[in-house]
Amino acid sequence: MSMWAEEMATKQVNKLDLQHAAGLLRQQILAVDGVISVRLLHEVSEMERVADAIGKGALGPHFSRSMNDISPGHAMVMVAYGKSSQGDVPIGMVAARYDDKPGWDLKDFLSAHWARLYPADEPGAFAEFTPESCQYARGVAGPFAYIGDGWIAKAFRGGNLLGLIQKLLILLAYDEWKPNLTYGWMRPDKVLSGYAARWGYTIVYPRGIEWRIPPAQVDLRDVYFVGVDRIGIHQMILDMTFEH
């Protein structure tokens, strides 16, 4: 670890610098053709309405109220809006949730959390990690912020709108929750195409999950773990504000 990284690992993130970087990201989002506003929502019920209106359908298992007990203030969603004849309509979203489990490291949390989310092929069975899975998460203490349920309306795909609203959400989630680590999951083709770096993640591990019982959902059988810690937040802010 460089001397700069060692210093940043313990130095508090400057709130004004973070707000400046967030403001620059907001300007970039509003410069995307068709985007008229961007908003941060905090209620899971609001997230459900946005997911339905945007064409995503139901929220994913990490945010579904039928699978999770998410306390007030422990979820947020960044939403980009466009204009239609019916008024403002959501055209892009990505969500975050806060978790802090004293006595568990990230490895323990991931294994326990995923065990109740995804059915396996066998009726009544659920996907299960191997004991050796997620060694990169051993000893990593909380709190954690998970980023997921990203979705862009079909007419607005092909640009970087999801990346922009995701980076803004990472910054604002850090500002509100001060997680020790912000993380998510990404398909191999996305990581190898450079999406992880462009979307603000500085930590990348292939073979993010090793399965004892694989999930029925095939695209989850091979995922990368992506994350950003305090050093990465410092770097994101520095990158955003270097010429401003």
Residues 56 and 149 sit within 8 Å (Cβ to Cβ): yes
What number is the average pLDDT over the span 127-141? Answer: 94
Q: H-helix or E-strand containing 137?
A: none
Greater pLDDT, 241 or 115: 241
Q: Mean pLDDT in the chain? A: 91
Distance CA 165, CA 188 (A): 21
Nearest to 47 by CA among 33, 68, 32, 29: 68
Distance CA 73, CA 18 (A): 20
Nearest to 92 by CA among 169, 172, 16: 169
Domain boundaries of the chain, sorted by first residue: 3-241
* Structural fold of domain 3-241: Aminopeptidase (3.40.630)
Total Cβ atoms within 10 A of residue 172: 18
Locate the DSSP E strands across 121-166: 128-129, 144-152
User: pTM for this one?
Assistant: 0.93
What number is the average pLDDT over the span 211-230? Answer: 93
Query: What pLDDT shows up at residue 121?
Result: 87
Check pLDDT > 80 for residue 11. no
